[in-house]
Amino acid sequence: LQRFPLEAQVTPHFAVLDESEAYRLKGAAFDATMARAAADRDGPLGRALDKIVAVTAEDYFRKIVDAVLGKCGALSRMITLHGSGPDWANAECMSLRRLFGLADHETEQTLTDALAGVLGDEEIDALLGVLQAGPISASDQKLQKRLQAARIATGAARVAAVKPIFITGENKPRRNLCSRALQQAAPQPCAALDAAQADFFGLELKRAQLACSEASAAVLLLADTIQAEYARAKESEAVLDYDDLILKTQALLSRAGAAAWVLFKIDGGVDHILVDEAQDTNPEQWSIIERLAEEFFAGEGASERTRTLFAVG
What's residue 60's pLDDT? 87
What's residue 92's pLDDT? 57
What's the distance, Cα to Cα, between the start and end of the chain in Å? 27
Tens digits of pLDDT across the chain (313 residues): 999 998 899 999 999 999 999 989 999 999 999 999 999 999 999 999 998 888 888 788 888 888 888 777 677 666 666 555 556 566 556 677 888 888 888 999 999 999 999 999 999 999 999 888 877 788 889 999 999 999 999 999 999 999 999 999 888 899 889 888 888 888 999 999 999 999 999 999 999 999 988 888 888 888 889 989 999 999 999 999 998 999 899 999 888 777 778 878 876 678 899 999 999 998 889 999 988 888 777 665 555 778 899 999 8
Can you give the three-state secondary structure of the chain, one letter per residue?
A: CCCCHHHHCCCCCCEECCHHHHHHHHHHHHHHHHHHHHHCCCCHHHHHHHHHHHHCCHHHHHHHHHHHHCCHHHHHHHHHHHCCCCCCCCCCCHHHHHHCCCCCCCCHHHHHHHHHCCCCHHHHHHHHHHHHHCCCCHHHHHHHHHHHHHHCCCHHHHHHHHHHHHECCCCCECCCCCCHHHHHHCHHHHHHHHHHHHHHHHHHHHHHHHHHHHHHHHHHHHHHHHHHHHHHHHHHHCEECHHHHHHHHHHHHHCCCHHHHHHHHHHCCCCEEEECCHHHCCHHHHHHHHHHHHHHCCCCCCCCCCCEEEECC
**CA distance readout (Å), 38 to 45, 54, 216, 266:** 8, 14, 19, 49
What's residue 78's pLDDT? 67
Distance CA 34, CA 26 (A): 12
75, 95 in Cβ contact below 8 A?
Answer: no
Kindly state the greatest CA–CA separation across the chain. Answer: 94
**Would you state the torsion angle of the CA atoms of residues 151, 152, 153, 158, taken in this order, to the nearest 10 degrees?**
-10
To the nearest 10 degrees (0 to 180), the angle between helices 187-237 and 155-166 is 110
Distance CA 254, CA 288 (A): 9
What's residue 261's pLDDT? 81
What's residue 161's pLDDT? 94
What's residue 37's pLDDT? 93
Beta strands 272-275 and 239-240: pairing type? unpaired
Is 29 exposed, middle or buried (CB count within 10 Å of its CB: 0-12, 13-18, 19+)? buried
Distance CA 197, CA 132 (A): 22
Distance CA 116, CA 160 (A): 9
263, 257 in Cβ contact below 8 A?
Answer: no
What's residue 89's pLDDT? 60
